[in-house]
Amino acid sequence: MKAPNPIAFTIFGIDVMWYGILIALGFILAIYISYRRASKFDIKPDNILDFAIILLPVSVIGARLYYVAFRWEYYQGDFQSIINIRNGGLAIHGGILFGLIAGLLVCKFRKINVLNLADLIFPSVALAQSIGRWGNFFNSEAHGGPTDLPIAVIIEGQRYHPTFLYESVFCFFLFWILLWLSGRRKFKGQIALLYGMLYSLERYFVEGLRTDSLMLGDIRIAQLVSILSIFGCAIAYFILNRNSKEINK
């Protein structure tokens, strides 16, 4: 499949990029689904809308700051490039980190159970990622190394692993799996922690194929974060599961 034109349309001389459209679409759909499911988690739907107003800018800023921090040698002294996100340059781990901080603050002031909110939100986060990853396709970025696979993405005549596609498909199925498990939740925080473990496992392997990884020396940052997330979520899962069994005795 050939990489398409990254520009969706132009209005008043301003190019509107597919990247931004797809990220916005994923976010809107995620909030809509969370809004419709909120009552099942003892959360008022209006609180989801309030959370969304805070979450969108905070997550985008966090994703950008995270990306820029590990590419500082490129962005240093160029403020205009730092704030220009129309051509990509958002790191999902930064968005999740800042989103979690925003979620904790919202839960504190609105007196919402943070684990309930996390279990509600994260299936939709997976769906938003599935949609948003196609923005990388339109920007001809976040691809892997050379491959002869039939599904290879073709950029400037060269065939590459479509790592955006691998992650998009995985996150799509992850959304449905987490949605199904939500109706069988055994303890608060279970769904969010399963997301953390499963997505991190996938990201670790897919990141190994990419050619544009953020690096810390010879270490791929996303792989390091993924390993830490897997172990951290697994420990939290064990503790919360054990505590819930003791309470239900």
Whether 249 shows a pLDDT value over 70: the answer reads no
Helix residue ranges per DSSP H, the chain: 18-37, 45-69, 72-75, 79-83, 92-110, 114-132, 134-138, 163-182, 190-207, 221-247
Residues 6+ positions from 201 with CB-CB distance below 8 Å: 226, 230
The answer to whether 131 and 26 are in contact (CB under 8 A) is yes
CA–CA dist 121, 20 (Å, integer) = 21
Q: How far apart are the first and last CA of the chain?
A: 56
Output the average pLDDT for the chain.
Answer: 93
Eight-state DSSP code of residue 38: G
- Confidence (pTM): 0.92
pLDDT tens, 17-68? 999 999 999 999 999 999 999 999 999 999 999 999 999 999 999 999 999 9
Q: Which amino acid is at 95?
A: G
Phi-psi region of 217 (alpha: psi -120 to 50; beta: other; left: phi over 0): left
pLDDT band at 152 (very low <50, low <70, confident <90, very high): very high
Q: Give the whole-number percent of the chain exceeding pLDDT 70.
A: 98
pLDDT tens, 160-214? 999 999 999 999 999 999 999 999 999 999 999 999 999 999 999 999 999 989 9
The residue with greater pLDDT, 31 or 244, is: 31
